[in-house]
Structure 1
Amino acid sequence: MRIAIAGGHGKVARHLSRALAARGDVPVALVRQLAHVQDVGDDGAEPVVLDLERANARDVAEAVAGADAVVFAAGAGPGSGADRKDSVDRAAAALLAEGAEQAGVRRYVLVSSMGATSAPPDGTDGVFAAYLRAKAASEEDLRARDLDWTIVRPGRLTDDEPTGTVRLDAHVPGGAVPRADVAAVLAAVLHAPLTAGLVLELTEGVVPVDAAVAAVVEPAD
């Protein structure tokens, strides 16, 4: 499979490129800066320089043409304000979907966040609340499109060593999860077409990744 990854230089995206390359897939990393080309190339990805905050849908369609799937793993990043949470976590996600539609790429996996569709608790930092609103809006936009979408909502992301085991379901208790394990789940979801149409929450757990993904599409006994 050829899979285009928006936010290709981010930590989750780089783990995903490595995981896909190890499976024999062809990851295509969409990066904002020429300075990131070498890094993502070292991950086994084909780099494409594309700034989703400056691009239009035609630019995106050209970048993802020929892909079997796209993944939105971009984010405004720490230190960014509410405006960039909206321009990246909402608007860029929608732009990727529009470009995928134009290019005829039906499969879209969105990295969202646990809590995206819930009211932020009292006292939540304003920028983080803006981030959650942006994620909720990106989910709403994607669900309204005629695409084979899957939404993955990780809990708090960490840089801990991957365990290869997770908790994955429509609803799971809040918790943390290593970025590398998120990437492993994304890679497995991309190879599980029956996950299309599912919204999945993800934290650390005890079930091996492939078994956890298989469980969400298998009917209960």
Structure 2
Amino acid sequence: MVKILNRLITTVPYTMLIVIISGSLGLTLAMGIAIIRIKKVMFLYPIANVYVSFFRSTPPLIHIFLVYYGLPLVLRKFGIDANEWSRTVHASLALVLFNGAHMSEFLRPAYLSVDRGQLDAADSIGMTGMMKFRRVILPQMLPIAWPNIENALIELVKDTSVLFVIGLFDIMGMAKMFIQNDYGVKKLEVYIAAGIVYWCITFLTERVFEFAEYRRNKKKRVPAGGGVL
């Protein structure tokens, strides 16, 4: 198991690269989808509803197959050859779509929790849309959405375990290769080793989020007398 762990650890940077790309782009997509659904943007609103419903109701394995096998067929109609794209691009795109749908449902209620009167007051003093979002909406949204965003990122780490189905050599892909090379011998040890690696990644992810939340709360302290939160 020590030998297997050492080999599996070498795939962690690649796995985390996919997580970071999918998580950051997924959050960006989620913000756009949440705004479309909150503002009920014409034509885009029903599309956004269908998108969220489908991707929240189906497993990520289905999304990977749809993107990897289906997207090239669709793009071919527009003269784009997606078969030349790397498997990393396909895997990241599938996880972005999956993660974006889930996180949009975390951001939407967080946005709606902001008192409408505060938004009207921001408009009355001439704040632009970006200023209003940065100074009024975001500081109140973040504490509400933060735990769910953390959970979504942890789930995203675990969702990468299905990427081996399209031949990616991430943590689980490397584990499968070990099993195949040894003709199925000592499968239990390999899976335990893979589980330990995922456990360590999620543990460290939780600590990073806790530290970030601590720093955020620390900045909210008033430096003047009393130290009131």
Q: Which has the higher helix share?
A: 2
Q: Which has the higher strand share?
A: 1
Which of structures 1 and 2 has the bigger CA Rg? 2
TM-score, structure 1 normalization: 0.25
- Point out which structure has higher relative CO (alpha carbons under 8 A, 6+ apart): 2
